Amino acid sequence: MKSTTRAVVIGGGIAGCSTLYHLTQEGWSDVVLVERDELTSGTTWHSAAQVTNFGMNQTMVGLKSHSIALYKDLRDDPDYPVGYNHGDGGIRLTNTEVQMDGYRHFASMARGMGVDYEVIDAAECQRRNPLISTDNLLGGLWDGEDGHIDPAQLCAALTRRARKAGAEVYRKTDVTGLTQHKDHSWTVHTNQGDIDCEIVVNAGGYRVNEIAAMMGVQHPVASMEHQYFLTEEIPAIKDAGHRIPLLRCPISDYYCRQEKNGLLIGFYEQDCKTWGMDGISPDFTMDLCPDDLDRVTDVLEGAIARMPVLAETGIHTIVNGPITYTIDGAPLVGPIPGKRNAFCIIGLRAGLGEGGGHGWLLAQQIVHGEAQYDTWCIDPRRFTGHTNVELTALKAIEDYQNEFRFHFPHEHRPAGRPAKTTPLTPVLAAEGAEFTVVNGWERVDYIKPRPDFHPTLSFNFDEAFDIVGAEVKNVQENVGLCEVNGFNRFEITGADRHIFLDRMFCGNVTKRDGRVGLGYMLNDHGMVKGEATIANLPEGDRGPARVWFGSAAAAEFHDMDWLTQHVRDHEDVEIKSLTNDQTILVLAGPNARKVLSACARGDWSKQAFPWLSVRECFIGFSPATVLGVSFSGELAYEIHVPNASLYAVYLTLRAAGEAYGMKLFGARAVDSMRMEKGFLHWKADLLTEFDPYETALERFVKLDKEADFIGKEALRKRHAEGPRSKLVSLRIDATHAPAHGGASLMQGNAVVGTITSGDWGYRVGMNLAYAFVEPTLAKEGSTMELDLCGDRVPATIITPSPYDPSYELMRS
Ligand SMILES: Cc1cc2nc3c(=O)[nH]c(=O)nc-3n(C[C@H](O)[C@H](O)[C@H](O)COP(=O)(O)OP(=O)(O)OC[C@H]3O[C@@H](n4cnc5c(N)ncnc54)[C@H](O)[C@@H]3O)c2cc1C
């Protein structure tokens, strides 16, 4: 066994084998995989191993397409062909029109990735899968690439190819400890000896948290028991003359595929069970949980109703094994938060289908620092401090019970809520707030007209449309108050803070005391990494001169890692998170200054406190920090308040606001207003797949600035080559539904763009969207068609800020 290597991958299931193989493909040959028992001895060996191309966003579709292409290549390898039934086709069924809308949206989205799904009616579902009944069935989504693979052969083939490229695989090698050194390298301790390495990868399956504990972290991953059974031979399958397409059924929560001349049927029962919460026996390997078919009778009845042939078919094998879940159903693939040189590929609940793609994107991140797709939807840093195995178990149960029922726009399911709140949460609830969830924070979405107001889940504008419109109107005409909790805020102190920030941001960094600026961070490839507000707080009795770095709520771990990893040893820079200690109250509207002046001493005039200023003050008697910034496009102030005095400040503002028509507003109104201004959202519109020129951020780039900012040379090169895509604002000629992120823009049969955000603009009376489109089309007046849940609707490129294009109001 080697005693030094570049990377050690821990775990020989599909996750580890795929990572090892792809590391060699990305150019690293000195890599090792260690497995405590035999390859596939965790969950992988007994997987149903279905491989679908279905995904709910473009990254998932892209990585699954990679799996399929790779598996086909392995199937066709003349030396070691892997058993892979590709192209049996699969149907996701439904009996509701709103789910059909969802399927139509996913078809629109996948087309942009070169993948064709078909939305078919009930009769066509039955024509393709003659075993099903059309009772209580509306139709389904057809994925022609669906199939299944032999898991053991797949892992053997991947490691075989990796070995050929120089990698080594050590079986019966149990990792027992991990030590990180000052230079961030690692020693991996095993029962066979130690291995020194630069990078470690946790691919430990359901033992993820045993390995995590060795590096002092805990991942939000929990395991569920999951069962399928194999039937005896079914004559109708034997005689069909073709393979039977797969089924996934959200009506009665089961899936099914052909296995030899019978069926494999898997269940997602309501009476489901977590597994391994109190530890896992070291002897549990190549093992299964006890059968428990009684638990699945609820869903079994539904499966029999859908496939009557099951009623007269015997069962010959039952498989019940542990399967891992995270908080939102997607795995954790990428850097481990708070750690250097440590990555994970864990929480895979569909690891056979996705594993090829996840290993690919992880290897790209390890070797190149970033993958070719934006990987935020699988990034381990997308959950922050509130997440633990207890919370994950609650979400895992909820997710398991809803396995094939995707989330609708604005849907936030109840399990594990509330997780993060402020002293105002119950106060706002009493005011009638409907809450949305942002990185665990309960944030006001809008104020409900009555307690039992529950809009229907839909891809169309819902019943809250006019309520949000009224909130926007009051902000536009009077003044609104909105709590923005969880907004990420770091305090950066030290003499070198601006030198450091100059290196982190691609534009000019505001340095003057009392002034605020907006900036963009790039990665080493010159692509958009992050967005932050920089506020320079002067020295005073609350502290030394310092910077407040403000970014999206979900960016907390991501930005902290990115910043701390770039502070140089000799630099006088300290970064402290205030995210959980302070909350923002946004005051927005033409009367905002009057309200602020009524409750805070000092001169708040345009001259004394112009747009992009910051000042420490008291709201009533409570300390606060006010920033003159606006996300709504109206005159607005962000009032940052320590949570201890949040309620006091709220009461003071409400009392002062009474004379000026103040009303509460929520996140939906904010989202609508920001779209009228051309303001972007991190990870909706700001993606690592595009550079700042492509993202229409040229005014924030200073290629000629003195500081050698991260990504400068790469950006210069990219800029010289010209954009591959351009972010634009669009008017959508439809009044019934917004454009949904991921949907395709078409000219004829060609996809010419992809939507990133969409919402109604109440102040301009337009249905608005942002999209990346082909550069030749990126000019005002260009027309195309949006595939909006299967309907083609006209879309026209418009000015980026249709409301108050000269930005007068926010500077007023
Ligand atoms: C019943 C069932 C049906 C399924 N059906 C499908 C399906 O149809 N399609 C699909 O895509 N997915 C399916 N899945 C899920 C899929 O099987 C898993 O997502 C996948 O196998 C997980 O692979 P993994 O590599 O992450 O974990 P594992 O296969 O569990 O591999 C982890 C490995 O790490 C090793 N290890 C752990 N700790 C250490 C240590 N300290 N030192 C060294 N090695 C260690 C373990 O021994 C193990 O081999 C199913 C799962 C179940 C349970």
Question: What pLDDT score was predicted for residue 386?
Answer: 84
Question: What pLDDT score was predicted for residue 298?
Answer: 87
Token digits of residue 276: 């391994």
Phi-psi region of 241 (alpha: psi -120 to 50; beta: other; left: phi over 0): left
How far separated are the first and last CA of the chain, in Å rounded? 70
Instruction: Report the alpha-carbon distance of residue 509 to residue 593 in Å, rounded.
Output: 27
By alpha-carbon position, which residue is closest to atom 35 of ligand 1?
Answer: 11
Question: What pLDDT score was predicted for residue 145?
Answer: 98
Q: How many CB atoms lie within 10 A of CB 595?
A: 27
Percent of the chain residues topping a pLDDT of 70: 100
Atom of ligand 1 nearest to the CA of 14: 25
By alpha-carbon position, which residue is closest to atom 2 of ligand 1?
Answer: 47
By alpha-carbon position, which residue is closest to atom 27 of ligand 1?
Answer: 205
Task: Look up residue 242 and give its amino acid.
Answer: H
In the reported structure, the alpha carbon of residue 331 is separated from the centroid of ligand 1 by a whole-number distance in angstroms of: 12
Average pLDDT over residues 196-221: 98
User: Tokens 């821990």 belong to which residue?
Assistant: 10
> In terms of C-beta density within 10 A (0-12 exposed, 13-18 middle, 19 or more buried), how is residue 699 classed?
exposed
In the reported structure, the alpha carbon of residue 358 is separated from the centroid of ligand 1 by a whole-number distance in angstroms of: 13
Average pLDDT over residues 773-784: 98
Q: What is the pLDDT of residues 438-460, one digit of tens each?
A: 999 999 999 999 999 999 999 99
Q: Which of 170, 352, 400, 404 should be mutated for ligand 1, with most atoms under 8 A from CB?
A: 352
Which string of b and e fits 161-186 if b means at least 16 CB within 10 Å? bbeeeebbbbeebebeebebeeeebb
By alpha-carbon position, which residue is closest to atom 13 of ligand 1?
Answer: 350
Taking CA atoms, 247 is separated from 76, 306, 556, in Å, by 26, 10, 40
Q: What is the pLDDT of residues 449-508, one digit of tens each?
A: 999 999 999 999 999 999 999 999 999 999 999 999 999 999 999 999 999 999 999 999
By alpha-carbon position, which residue is closest to atom 48 of ligand 1?
Answer: 42
By alpha-carbon position, which residue is closest to atom 22 of ligand 1?
Answer: 351
What is the side-by-side strand order in the sheet with 636-642? 614-619, 622-627, 636-642, 582-588, 479-484, 662-664
Atom of ligand 1 nearest to the CA of 320: 1
Please answer whether residues 169 and 33 qualify as being in contact, where contact means their C-beta atoms are separated by less than 8 angstroms.
yes
By alpha-carbon position, which residue is closest to atom 12 of ligand 1?
Answer: 350
Q: What is the pLDDT of residues 122-169, one digit of tens each?
A: 999 999 999 999 999 999 999 999 999 999 999 999 999 999 999 999
Instruction: Report the alpha-carbon distance of residue 733 to residue 768 in Å, rounded.
Output: 9
Res. 227: pLDDT tops 90: yes
Closest C-alpha among 627, 441, 592, 593 to residue 518? 627
Instruction: Report the alpha-carbon distance of residue 699 to residue 507 in Å, rounded.
Output: 8
Compute the chain's Rg from CA coordinates. 27
Contacts of 337 (CB under 8 A, 6+ apart): 217, 380, 381, 384, 557, 561
> In terms of C-beta density within 10 A (0-12 exposed, 13-18 middle, 19 or more buried), how is residue 796 classed?
middle
Please answer whether residues 667 and 444 qualify as being in contact, where contact means their C-beta atoms are separated by less than 8 angstroms.
yes
Token digits of residue 680: 């972007």
In the reported structure, the alpha carbon of residue 579 is separated from the centroid of ligand 1 by a whole-number distance in angstroms of: 36
In the reported structure, the alpha carbon of residue 43 is separated from the centroid of ligand 1 by a whole-number distance in angstroms of: 3
Token digits of residue 37: 């028992």
**Residue 96 phi, psi (nearest 5):** -125, 145
Q: What is the pLDDT of residues 352-392, one digit of tens each?
A: 999 999 999 999 999 999 999 999 999 999 999 888 999 99
Q: Which of 207, 215, 272, 346 should be mutated for ligand 1, with most atoms under 8 A from CB?
A: 207
Task: Look up residue 262 and give its amino acid.
Answer: G
> In terms of C-beta density within 10 A (0-12 exposed, 13-18 middle, 19 or more buried), how is residue 202 classed?
buried
Q: What is the pLDDT of residues 605-658, one digit of tens each?
A: 999 999 999 999 999 999 999 999 999 999 999 999 999 999 999 999 999 999
**Residue 108 phi, psi (nearest 5):** -60, -45
Three-class DSSP category at 539: coil
Provide residues with CB under 6 Å of ligand 1.
10-16, 34-37, 41-44, 46-50, 174-175, 203-207, 210-211, 226, 228, 266, 285, 319, 321, 323, 348-353
Instruction: Report the alpha-carbon distance of residue 532 to residue 529 in Å, rounded.
Output: 10
Helix crossing, 97-111 with 58-75: angle to 10°?
70
**Residue 463 phi, psi (nearest 5):** -65, -10
Q: How far is CA 718 from the centre of its chain?
A: 27
Token digits of residue 594: 């009057």
Average pLDDT over residues 40-63: 98
By alpha-carbon position, which residue is closest to atom 26 of ligand 1?
Answer: 205
Please answer whether residues 338 and 217 qualify as being in contact, where contact means their C-beta atoms are separated by less than 8 angstroms.
yes
Instruction: Report the alpha-carbon distance of residue 717 to residue 504 in Å, rounded.
Output: 19
Token digits of residue 130: 């003659």
H or E stretch at 60: helix 58-75
- Four-CA torsion 297, 300, 305, 309, nearest 10 degrees: -120
Q: What is the pLDDT of residues 536-567, one digit of tens each?
A: 999 999 999 999 999 999 999 999 999 999 99
In the reported structure, the alpha carbon of residue 1 is separated from the centroid of ligand 1 by a whole-number distance in angstroms of: 25
